[in-house]
Amino acid sequence: MTYRLSGSRRALLAAGSALAFLLTVAAAPAAQAAPTAADAKTFIETAETRLLELSIQAERALWVQSTFITHDTELLAAEANEVLTAVSVEYAKEAARYDQVQLDPDLRRRMDLLKQTLTLAAPADPAKNAELSRLATSLESTYSSAKSCRPGGECLDLEQLSDLIEQSRDPKVLLDVWTGWHDTAKVQRADYARLVTLANEGARDLGYKDTGAMWRAKYDMEPDAFAREVDRLWLQVKPLYDALHCHVRARLTETYGKDVVPPGEPIPAHLLGNMWAQSWDNLYDLVAPPAADPGYSLTGLLKERNTDAVEMTRYGERFFTSLGFAPLPATFWERSMLTKPRDREVVCHASAWDIDAQDDLRIKMCIQTNEEDFRTIHHELGHNFYQRAYKNQPFLYQDSANDGFHEAVGDTIALSITPEYLQQIGLIQQVPDPSKDLGLLMRQALDKVAFLPFGVMIDQWRWQVFSGQIPAERYNQGWWDLRRKYQGVQPPVARGEDAFDPGAKYHVPGNTPYTRYFLAAILQYQLHEGLCKAAGNQGPLHRCSIYGNKEAGRRLQAMLEMGLSRPWPEALEAVTGSKQMDGTALVNYFAPLKVWLDGQNKGRTCGW
């Protein structure tokens, strides 16, 4: 569940704003004339031209920094991003001058989007502005440099701690690792509380009730209406999550005993194979259905064919060309980084890049010949084909329909990597019997379904913090109240208000909105269902692949080309025929697994 914030034009601005290189806009002259619609048009065209120019410069600098890490390239990337962010903040605040001017719908939309590039809005007071910038930068740096030090002097970073929590089945080791990492966040608490106060002041300067309302205003509906929409979607998928939770808890009780995992209680958070209990795929061997082996190993098949990084990527490209999309430009193959260089340090985390807002598309990834990277490259190319599809839109529309769509499109494509698809492209000779589907569905559910409540509660907590519903003296209690409510997990030991457990998840100190990931988890299945209907699929949804279907490709292209130019319900309608996000497609996809889980859960104590 990753999303490279610099993968789209407006998201690059938001990423800079999240890092809070926030500058104060000079006060307007007292005698300045009231702005007009003509002024607004000139302003927005000037802003788009300048921001596009600066974003291209920032993308190029960031690309070099990511593929050639040195002290100097990091400085150059930071400087380019700082210039871009400073200008975006200035334009966003200037856009607020036109709030009361009568504008045509297109111009009003672009003006609102310009304001919404900000993640943190700076207060007008220069001293508070500088303080907010310092706090935001410090919080992210504190998280990134955190280490848990054990008696005897050994200090482990998050990557090392995550390896332990993913691999160990010793509850004492897991408790030590989990507590050690979460305790590193204690030092963030006071700074975060002050950041909330300052960010809210800046949001009010832009006309929003608080920062949470500013974030929710980005979804083509009233902020409170969007919050209700998230709740509605969650309730649609909650029964599926509850069934998975019940089965996983029962297996954990069998593994660790009732004293460690009591039936009918929330699951201790350190036992789920992930530092934040957001993905449970490392528990597959404990919870898998019997005889669920599909009879082939995709990793093994790829290695038998000596499939290299370029051919892995060609498989993904051929998926899109089979739908009717044009092949990737020659520059993609010349400029992408598909393998890890031997002569320098690079950022291997997979990401899709749109350097010039036209055709300079690239992938940055250290591809390994395995099933995970085969799926990942299909996903990342989903971003690239989306980026190219909206290249003819104005700068402020060069993004996905809402921030959940970009990630959802990549995941939608990955859902078509079915046994049928693997047979079509010659990787397997025979499609496994449907009785083997339960294992495939369980593996996916431990990732996608287990994530759903976590995807909801992160911003539920922040929205309540920004609004004051959760005051600073109850930060940790509010966090765990929501985790119990949504996830059915609890801390393995008592966690008081001396702790700041929200800060143990990057997106909190990094000030990155999180609801996008929940929306992407819902949307990918709804988009998949819509495309499968267009392709004439008659079988179960989890066995559908749209590979080779031009009608599905036509609908997908129509949605991608809109970018952010229209409200997201219209983009959704282009593929699904509906203007409402809907979790029932996800439920339908996992229906066979739900039947199996319900059978397994008979006689068990479910819920918490």
Report the C-alpha gap between 119 and 514 in whole angstroms.
12
C-alpha to C-alpha distance for 386 and 380, rounded to whole angstroms: 10
Contact predicate 516/572, CB 8 Å: no
Q: Is residue 7 pLDDT above 70, yes or no?
A: no
Place 88 in a pLDDT band, splitting at 50, 70 and 90: confident
Task: Work out the pLDDT band at 14, boundaries 50, 70, 90.
Answer: low
What is the per-residue pLDDT across 217-260, written as a single tens digit (0 to 9) for each? 999 999 999 999 999 999 999 999 999 999 999 999 999 999 99
Q: For 436-445, write each residue's pLDDT tens digit.
A: 899 999 999 9
Q: Residue 467: is it exposed, middle or buried by C-beta count within 10 angstroms (0-12/13-18/19+)?
A: middle
Write down the pLDDT at residue 17.
45
pLDDT (0 to 100) of residue 21: 40
Pick the more confident residue, 575 or 73. Answer: 575
Pairing of strands 267-268, 489-490: parallel
Residue, of 213 and 77, whose pLDDT is higher: 213
Asked whether the predicted pLDDT for residue 576 surpasses 70, the reply is yes
Helix pair 105-115, 71-95: axis angle to 10 deg: 130
What gap in Å lies between CA 387 and CA 404, rounded to an integer? 14
Give the pLDDT score at 12.
55
Catalytic residue from among 507, 561, 570, 573:
507
**How does DSSP classify residue 351?**
E
Q: For the segment 260-270, what is each residue's pLDDT rounded down to a tens digit? A: 999 999 999 99
Beta bridge partners of 489: 267
Give residue for tokens 């066995």: 543
User: How many Å apart are CA 2 and CA 125, to the nearest integer?
Assistant: 35
Say if residue 210's pLDDT is above 80: yes
Closest CA to 97 of 42, 36, 48, 47: 36
Question: What sign does the dihedral 525-560-386-214 (CA atoms) show?
Answer: negative
The question of whether 380 is a catalytic residue gets the answer: yes
Counting Cα atoms < 13 Å in the Cβ hemisphere of 83 gives 16
Rounded to whole angstroms, what are the CA distances from 531 to 525, 536, 553? 10, 9, 8
Helix, strand, coil % in the chain, rounded to nearest 5:
65, 5, 35
Which of these ranges, 117-121, 425-429, 494-498, 512-516, has the smallest mean pLDDT? 117-121
pLDDT 10s digits, 35-58:
999 999 999 999 999 999 999 999
pLDDT, tens only, 509-540: 999 999 999 999 999 999 999 999 999 999 99
Inform me whether the pLDDT recorded for 16 exceeds 50.
no
Residue in 380, 383, 406, 528 annotated catalytic: 380
The CB density around residue 468, as the number of other CB atoms within 10 Å, is 11
pLDDT digits (tens, 9 = 90+) for 375-412: 999 999 999 999 999 999 999 999 999 999 998 999 99
- Phi-psi category of 207—alpha, beta or left, where left has phi over 0 and alpha has psi -120 to 50? left
The proportion of the chain whose per-residue pLDDT surpasses 90, expressed as a percent, equals 78
Distance CA 602, CA 157 (A): 42
pTM confidence score:
0.91
507 is catalytic: yes
Q: What's the CA gap between 335 and 437, in Å, rounded? A: 39
Beta strands (DSSP E) in 47-131 are: none
Q: How far apart are CA 358 and CA 329, in angstroms?
A: 11
For residues 236 and 2, the model is more confident at 236
